[in-house]
Amino acid sequence: MNVKTVIHQLQQHKSGLCCEDVKRLLAGLGFDVRDGKQGGHKVFVHQGLPSFHSSSFNCGHGKNPEIKPAYITKIIQILKQNQDELDDYLTRTPR
């Protein structure tokens, strides 16, 4: 999986993505997605990106709920800002 593909998938399904889908996409790019301090909040970090510290999104409540489009937009923006570094990381790291 590459960054461009993930960005495209997020853009195409912005209003219908469930929490598990987003977690899977981010994990495929090497992000570590963890539970945040409050219920439903997820924090994601990346060991291979020195310029990226962390960010978060809210999964809401219930079993695998949909994520609000505003969070998807934020994730897309983060991926675009770090695309070169992510692409480099993914080519260096065997999957």
Instruction: Report the pLDDT value the prediction gives residue 60, as an integer from 0 to 100.
Output: 77
Instruction: Report the pLDDT value the prediction gives residue 14, as an integer from 0 to 100.
Output: 87
Instruction: Report the pLDDT value the prediction gives residue 50, as an integer from 0 to 100.
Output: 87
Measured distance CA(48)–CA(29) in Å, rounded = 10
Instruction: Report the pLDDT value the prediction gives residue 20, as an integer from 0 to 100.
Output: 93
- What are the per-10-residue average pLDDT scores of the chain (95 residues)? 93 90 95 90 93 90 84 96 93 78
**Which 8-state DSSP code applies to residue 3?**
H
Instruction: Report the pLDDT value the prediction gives residue 44, as an integer from 0 to 100.
Output: 97
pTM of the shown model: 0.90
Cβ contacts of 35 within 8 Å, gap of 6 or more: 41, 42, 43
Give the chain's radius of gyration (CA, Å).
Answer: 13
Give the sign of the dihedral formed by CA 54, CA 51, CA 90, CA 95: negative
Instruction: Report the pLDDT value the prediction gives residue 95, as an integer from 0 to 100.
Output: 61
In the block, which residue shows the tokens 């992000």?
31
